[in-house]
Structure 1
C-alpha cells in the first residue's frame, strides 16, 4: 500500500509539472518516490519492530512466547494467525496449522505452514514443541469440534477455541473471541433450534412468573423470557441476594422490561395467594425445588414440604386465579426414583397431571437430566478440587449421567411450554450419557494437568439414594415424538385428584409428627408413586 501510494504520488507530480511546462529532472521524481517510501514505511516498520522487541523480549534477553498450533487453515484460521501476529503482547506465536483438506497441505498462511490433517495433531505438537492449540473452525458442526478436541486431548497442550459462527458479530474474529475450551465444548451438542413465533405467541404481552427465579435454571429462564417482551416478569425466590443480582443484570440488558422481584417461599400458602391475587400471572414456570440428592436423604421432611407441598400450593393458586399455562421443571431422577429427591419430583409430576384433568389451566412438566455448571453440580466441585491440587472425587467408575448446558435446557423448556396442550410430561433429548469419571479426566486435562499423574482421581462409593445410571422416561409411560427433534412426550399416567389429595393429607399429618413417623411417611411416599398405575385404573 505504501509503495503503490508513493509511486502514484510521484507520477501525479510528474504529470502536474509537465502540464505546467516546469522542467525538473526525472531523478528528482525517483528520489521523491524513494524517500517517501523510506520515511513512511520506515516509521511504521520501526514502530512495529520496537513494539515486538519490547514485548517479546524480557530484560534478560529470554523469549517470552508460547508456540501455537492453529486447527483450521480456512478464513477463520488466517484471521487468527493475523490477529496473533498483530498482537505480540499476547505472547502467542503461530508456528503451524492443521487442516483435513489435503489440497492445503504444504501451503502457507501468512508464513505459517500447513502440515497435515487431524490425525497428525499429537505427532506435530510433540515435534514442534507446541504449548497451545487454537481450534479456529467457528462454522464446523459441534460434533466435529468434539472429535477434533478429543484428538487435541491426547497432547498436553492448553486448548483454546473460537465461539460458533452464530455467536460472532458480523463473522469478524478478534483476539477477544479466543477463549479457553470449556467442558461443554467436549460434549459436542449442537445449538438448539427454537420456534420464535410459537414462543412469542404465549409469552409476549403476558405476565410471567418464575418461581426459584434466582437459581441457575430459574435465572436463565428469566433472561430468555425477557427477550420475548412479556407484559411483566415476576422473579420469585426465597434468597434475596441471587434475585437482586439478576434484577440488576436484567435492568442493564433490558431497561425496557417491567420486572419485579418477589421474596417468598412456595411453602408459604398465604404468600402465594397474595402474589397470584395481586398479579394474576398468565404463565408460570415452577423451578423452585430442593434438588441435592444426598442432602435430601438427610432432610426428607424439607424435600417433601418444598418439592411436593410447595408445588401443590403454586399449582392450586394457578388454577384458582386463572393462569393459562403452568410449566413444572422436573428431573430424570423422577423416573423409577430410588431417593427422596426423585420421589418428591415424581409426586410433583403427579400433582400437575391430576390438576390438569380438572382445571382450565394447562399443566405440563418438562423432564431433563443434569445441567452443566448449575449450582451444586459436579463441574464447580471438580474445578474447586483441581484448584486445591486434588484429589478429584468420583462416586463410582461406572456412574454416568445425561448432561446439557443451562441455556440449551431452558430454551427447550420454553419451547416445550409453547407446545403444551395439558397433562404432558415433556422429555428432552439429552444425547448420550457421559461417564462422570471421563468428565473428571477431561476437566483435569483442560486445566493443564495429567489425570492420575498431576491430579489423582479417587472413588468414594455411591451415596445414599444415588443411581449408577439415570433414566429419562418410565417404560410404561411410552414415548411420542413431537415436531421438535429434541422434545418428546410421555403419556399422562395420573388423573385421580381426589385420591391424590387424600394421600397428600395423610402425608402432611405424618410430616408434623415425631421422628418415629419418618419410616412411615417414606413408605407412604413410595407407595403413592408405585401405585400410580393402579390409581389410573381406579380413575
Structure 2
C-alpha cells in the first residue's frame, strides 16, 4: 500500500503536488490552533466560539502566502536539505507574529480574549507539523522503503567524506539508490555516517540478498593499489556489478562529472605499480620535432599519436594503410588543435610512398607500429605476415636510414623471444633488421639512433582477448579460452605508449628495450575475474545452472603456454626509468641479416611458403649462441 501511494505521488504533476502540500499545511495550521487551545485549557474539546473559528480560519490565510514567498513550495521534498528547518522556523515565526497582530486588533474591538500561551503553543505545534511532515515524507521517499520502483539499490564501499558526497550526489542523478556504506573498520559498524548506515563487508552476501543490491561503487581512491586489488577480489563473484569513481577532489577541480561512475577495468586487478612518466624524457624526444607514426590507426599507433600531440611537436605524420582507421584517428586529433597533423594513406611495403612522405615532411622521429599482430591469422597467412612484418620493416628502416631520420623506434613483442609462430618470428627478424641499421649508422658515424621496444599484451588492443571476453560476457557466454593455464603479460595501452616514447629518449643506438610487465596473468583467472566484475558468477561444478560458462577450445597453432620477455635475464641492464630495461648489446651475437633477407625474398618470390617458413625459423634458431646470449 505504501509503495503504491509513493509510486502514485511521485508521478503526479508538480501543480497537484503543490495543491496537496498547501491543503495539508492549511489543515495542519487549523489543527495546531485547536491543539493550542486544548493544551491551554487541558480539555480535549475546547469551547467553540465564533472568534475562535475565525482565528482558526485566518491562520492558514496568513501563513500560506508567507510560505509561498519563502519558497516552501518550491523545494522538492525528496531532496529537502536539513537546513530547510531554519526556513520553516522563520516562515512559521512571521506567520505567528502576524496572527498575533490580528488577535490584538480583535481584542481591541472587544471580540474576546486569547490566552497569552496560545500563540506560543501555536508556533511550536505548527512548526512541528509543517516541518515534521516534510522531513517524514523525505525519509519515506529517500531512505529505507522509500526506494522508487525504477531505482537500483547500491552500496558504496568507503566511509570517507568523498563517499558521503558521492551518496548525496547520487540522490539527484540517475536511478541509483544508496542503501548503505561499507567499511572494514569495526568501530564504524552500525553507525550512521552522513545519514547512511555503515555495514561490515563480511556480511555482503546477506546484505545483497536482503536489499536486492545490484551494484557496489568503490570510493577508495586514496588507498594503495594492492589494497584496492584486495578489496575488488574480495567482493567480486557476489553477483553484483563493481564500479568505481575518481576522487571527489577531481570533481572540485572540474576533472570529472558527478555521474562518471565507471566500470572496474581489468587492469586494476593486475597489481601493477604506477610510475608517473618522466616529463624530461617525453619532452626531449617530442617537443618541436616532426614525428611520424606508421600504423597510426592501430591500437598502439593511435595511442602513441594521442600522447605525442600533447607534447607540442612541430608536426605529426599519420601513416596508415587502412583508410577508415586513418580517418578516425585524423578526425580525433584534428579536433585537438595541438599541432599540425598530416594523414598519409599508404603501405609500409611501398618504398616510394614511404620515402616521399619522410622526405616531404622532414621527419625527425619515426615510430614503427605497423604490423600484422594476430597470431592465428598470421599463422594462416604466413607469406602476408612475412611481407608486411619483415619487408615492411626493412623498407621503413632502410628509407629512414637513407633520409637521415634521427630516431627510429620499432614496436616489438614478447613473442619475438624464442618464437614458435610466424608472427613472433617476423618480429624477431624486425628487431635484427633495426639493429643492423643501428650498426650501419655507427659504422658510418651518422648521428642516428635505431632501437626496438619489446613488451607483452596490451589490454584493449586490437586482437586482445579482453575485448573478446567482454563481448562474449555481454552476449551471455560462453567465454572461450584456448587453454586456461596459459600465462600472458599485460599492461594498459596508455602505459605502453608512455614507456615506448620514454624508451626512445634513452636510445644510444642498437638498443632493445624491455618494458617491465609485472607478473604474468593466467588466462583462466583473467576470464573468471572479468565475468565476476560484470556481476555474474562462473558456471562450474559448484554452480552448474547459473552464471557464465568458460569453454576450453584447445590451443591454436603456434601458441605457447608461457610467453617470455628475455632470452637471458642476466643481460638486462637497468635504465634511469624503473619500468624500462635495456639489452646488453655487447652480449648480442651478430647475424648476417642482409644475406638472410635475400634468401627469404627468393622464397617469397616463388610463393614457396614451406621454404619461407624454414628460412624464417632456421635463421633465428641456428644463429651461433643465440639461445645463450640473446636477450
Identify the TM-score tier after normalising by the shorter chain.
0.7 to 0.9
Does the CA contact (< 8 Å) of 1:204 and 1:230 recur in 2? yes
Which secondary structure does the structure 2 equivalent of 1:93 belong to?
strand
Q: Distance in 2 between matches of 1:30 and 1:304?
A: 94
Q: Distance in 2 between matches of 1:513 and 1:460?
A: 35
Name the counterpart of 1:19.
none
Does the CA contact (< 8 Å) of 2:589 and 2:625 recur in 1? no
| TM superposition shift of 1:46 | 11
Name the counterpart of 2:431.
349
| TM superposition shift of 1:391 | 2.0
Does the CA contact (< 8 Å) of 1:402 and 1:430 recur in 2? yes
Q: Distance in 2 between matches of 1:8 and 1:104?
A: 36
Q: Deviations over 1:73-126 (max 9, x none)?
A: 112211121122344xx332222222233333332112212223x444445434
| TM superposition shift of 1:496 | 4.5
Which secondary structure does the structure 2 equivalent of 1:466 belong to?
coil
Does the CA contact (< 8 Å) of 2:309 and 2:338 recur in 1? no
Q: Distance in 2 between matches of 1:166 and 1:3?
A: 29
| TM superposition shift of 1:257 | 1.6
Residue 72 (1) aligns with residue 158 (2): yes
Name the counterpart of 1:484.
577
Change (3 A) 1:256 1:115: closer
Q: Distance in 1 between matches of 2:339 and 2:129?
A: 56
Name the counterpart of 2:550.
457
Does the CA contact (< 8 Å) of 1:494 and 1:533 recur in 2? no
Q: Deviations over 1:41-97 (max 9, x none)?
A: 7999799799979xx777xxxx3332222111112211121122344xx33222222
Does the CA contact (< 8 Å) of 2:92 and 2:127 recur in 1? no
Name the counterpart of 1:289.
371
| TM superposition shift of 1:154 | 3.3
Q: Deviations over 1:142-194 (max 9, x none)?
A: 22221111111131112111136796562887541212223223224343411
TM-score (normalizing by structure 1): 0.86
Q: Distance in 2 between matches of 1:333 and 1:103?
A: 51
Which secondary structure does the structure 2 equivalent of 1:390 belong to?
coil
Name the counterpart of 2:52.
none
| TM superposition shift of 1:390 | 2.3
Change (3 A) 1:8 1:64: closer
Residue 414 (1) aligns with residue 501 (2): yes
Change (3 A) 1:46 1:165: closer
Q: Distance in 2 between matches of 1:35 and 1:173?
A: 46
Q: Distance in 1 between matches of 2:401 and 2:129?
A: 80
Residue 507 (1) aligns with residue 589 (2): no
Does the CA contact (< 8 Å) of 2:365 and 2:406 recur in 1? yes
Q: Give the RMSD, CA atoms, in angstroms.
A: 3.5
| TM superposition shift of 1:384 | 2.4
Change (3 A) 1:267 1:165: farther
Which secondary structure does the structure 1 equivalent of 2:435 belong to?
helix
Q: Distance in 2 between matches of 1:508 and 1:32?
A: 101
Of 330, 333, 354, the residue aligned with 1:250 is 333
Name the counterpart of 2:611.
520
Q: Which moved more, 1:169-178 or 1:267-276?
A: 169-178
Name the counterpart of 2:621.
530
TM alignment of 1:168-247, pairs within 5 A: 170=253, 175-247=258-330
Q: Distance in 2 between matches of 1:308 and 1:67?
A: 55
Residue 388 (1) aligns with residue 475 (2): yes
Which secondary structure does the structure 1 equivalent of 2:156 belong to?
strand
Which secondary structure does the structure 1 equivalent of 2:342 belong to?
strand
Q: Which moved more, 1:431-440 or 1:1-10?
A: 1-10
Does the CA contact (< 8 Å) of 1:372 and 1:403 recur in 2? yes
Q: Which moved more, 1:387-396 or 1:305-314?
A: 387-396
Q: Distance in 2 between matches of 1:31 and 1:169?
A: 45
Does the CA contact (< 8 Å) of 2:389 and 2:426 recur in 1? yes
Q: Distance in 2 between matches of 1:114 and 1:313?
A: 64
In structure 2, list runs of 5 or more residues that go unmatched. 1-82, 95-106, 108-115, 540-545
Change (3 A) 1:29 1:200: farther
| TM superposition shift of 1:320 | 1.1
Q: Distance in 2 between matches of 1:36 and 1:320?
A: 91
Does the CA contact (< 8 Å) of 1:145 and 1:188 recur in 2? no
Which secondary structure does the structure 1 equivalent of 2:430 belong to?
helix
Which secondary structure does the structure 1 equivalent of 2:480 belong to?
strand
Name the counterpart of 2:5.
none
Change (3 A) 1:524 1:48: same
Residue 377 (1) aligns with residue 464 (2): yes
| TM superposition shift of 1:301 | 0.9
Change (3 A) 1:92 1:520: same
Q: Deviations over 1:493-514 (max 9, x none)?
A: 55757x2111101111110114
Change (3 A) 1:152 1:10: closer
Does the CA contact (< 8 Å) of 1:77 and 1:136 recur in 2? yes
Does the CA contact (< 8 Å) of 1:67 and 1:131 recur in 2? yes
Of 127, 135, 144, the residue aligned with 2:227 is 144
Q: Distance in 1 between matches of 2:342 and 2:85?
A: 62
Q: Deviations over 1:221-278 (max 9, x none)?
A: 00000000000000110011111111111122x2242001000000111111111111
Q: Distance in 1 between matches of 2:341 and 2:118?
A: 73
Q: Distance in 1 between matches of 2:613 and 2:569?
A: 23
Q: Distance in 2 between matches of 1:391 and 1:71?
A: 30
In structure 1, list runs of 5 or more residues that go unmatched. 13-24
| TM superposition shift of 1:527 | 2.0
Does the CA contact (< 8 Å) of 2:589 and 2:624 recur in 1? no
Of 479, 485, 490, the residue aligned with 1:403 is 490
| TM superposition shift of 1:343 | 0.3
Change (3 A) 1:32 1:459: same
Q: Deviations over 1:3-57 (max 9, x none)?
A: 5567789999xxxxxxxxxxxx99999899989989997999799799979xx77
Q: Distance in 2 between matches of 1:388 and 1:10?
A: 59
| TM superposition shift of 1:346 | 0.4
Name the counterpart of 1:102.
186
Question: How many residue pairs get matched?
Answer: 516
Does the CA contact (< 8 Å) of 2:237 and 2:537 recur in 1? no
